[in-house]
Amino acid sequence: MKLVPQLNSTGEIEDGSYIRALDFCQRNCNKGRCKTFYNSIMSAPLSSGFLTCPYGMSVYVSALEKQIYCSMRERETYNKKLSKNIADARKLYNPVLPAEQLYTLIQASQTITVGKKKLDEKQAVVDSISHEVKKLNGQIKEHSDLAISLLKADDDVTPSPENVAKVYEELRSIFLSSSMIASRYTLFDYEKNPDVLKGTIVETSIHKTFYKLAKIFRNYRKRNIPIILSGSTFRYIDAYDSFDLIPLLLIENAVKYSYYSSDVQITFSESSSSEVDVSIESYSPYCSKEDLTRIFEKGFRGKNASKVADGNGIGLFFVKKICDIHNIGITVESDNSRITPINSVAYAPFRIMLHFTKTYNVDHT
């Protein structure tokens, strides 16, 4: 809900609920003298303040928002003589107000607009997480039914080794889906309380945490994506419970976007100075330099990634948040020298690197 009329990105006027846009303004804002007037404002360095439009109405320019509010009557800039040529079929007579009162209305309108945008963003995240949880719950049911049917196939006798092995794989899949549901609820809780990423600090093995999650991701979504671990580190760190989400989300992301049957490579290296690097490399949709600069933005998805799989653009956003509270460096690369087009999608080696310094220290604040 907007209190004051304002120009949108297409040059049209969005009406206000308190100060109403005149019919003349709505019809002509994108034409002739009005269009020239507004274009001249936006093409020059913006300076906040009230102006007089070509037809005598008051306009407020917000340099911070890069926004124009219009169709008002501010005491000092409203020109009654010029505005006589404006006929309004609805007989609207907006009050002539001092700048302070109109500015207060504009600020209130800005607050409402920003608040609604944040609420819409949160709702979009909640809806997306809810959809994913339903899908994961369906996978748990599917794997459970299959495990039960495998055991029943042995007619109440000791299960055959072959069926035991199959049941074990189904249980592994159930555990993975359950872990992923738990991660979604953590992301959901973050929307209400960012401190949910903190909590109890425990001594954690970097290598074992990645190894455990890489193991249960085997045959995830039956995509036949081998996960290969190389190198090692014996480094332990003090970490919050949320640290487990880093390998979970990164491996899930790598498997989800990897080209069918290509490897996901997880490499560990530890220097003589006890600094540790972990890289997760996959053959995934190419990310341009522009995409890479935004890859940790909440809700952002790369152009090519959007062609390959559904997503909400919050996985890497949360990985970055968790890395920040653990003081872990994170960088991303997409190799533009090895791009291969496959089914109208550009693929290339995609690498995420984590860096643990010798003086690593979890953020206790």
22 plus 133 within the same structural domain: no
- Same domain? For 201 and 169 the reply is no
**Rounded Cα distance, 178 and 174, in Å:** 6
Instruction: Choose among 202, 145, 137: nearest CA to 176.
Output: 137
Q: Are residues 83 and 222 in the same domain?
A: no
This model's pTM is above 0.75:
no
Residues 175 and 206 occupy one common structural domain: no
Tokens of 230: 């190389």
Instruction: Provide the token pair at 320.
Output: 């970055």
Q: What CA–CA distance (Å, rounded) separates 30 from 33?
A: 9
Domain presence at residue 59 = yes
> Which residue, of 177, 192, 207, is where some domain finishes?
192
Determine the 3-state secondary structure of 332 from DSSP.
strand
* Number of folded domains that form the chain: 3
pLDDT score, position 87: 65
For residue 217, give the CATH number of its domain: 3.30.565.10
Sign of CA dihedral 293, 247, 216, 142: negative
Q: Based on the fold, state whether residues 221 and 320 are members of the same structural domain.
A: yes
Phi and psi for 28 in degrees, rounded to 5? -115, 0
Locate all alpha helices (DSSP H) within the chain, ordered by sequence: 23-28, 32-43, 80-83, 99-152, 161-192, 206-216, 245-257, 289-294, 305-308, 315-325
Residues 143 and 246 reside in one and the same domain? no
- CA distance linking residue 309 with residue 170, whole number of Å: 24
Does some domain include residue 365? no
Asked whether residue 295 is assigned to any structural domain, the reply reads yes
Q: Which structural domain, as residue segments, surrounds residue 173? A: 122-192
Show the tokens assigned to 183: 């991660």
Say whether both 142 and 69 belong to one domain.
Answer: no
pLDDT truncated to tens, each residue of the chain (365 aa)?
Answer: 688 999 888 889 999 888 998 888 998 999 999 999 999 998 888 889 999 999 999 999 998 888 999 999 999 999 988 888 776 656 666 889 999 999 999 999 888 888 888 888 778 777 777 877 887 788 788 878 888 887 776 566 677 888 888 887 788 778 878 887 888 888 778 877 888 888 889 999 999 999 988 887 876 655 678 899 999 898 999 999 899 899 999 998 998 899 887 899 999 999 878 799 999 999 999 999 999 999 999 888 888 888 888 777 888 999 999 999 999 999 999 999 999 999 899 999 999 999 998 766 666 56
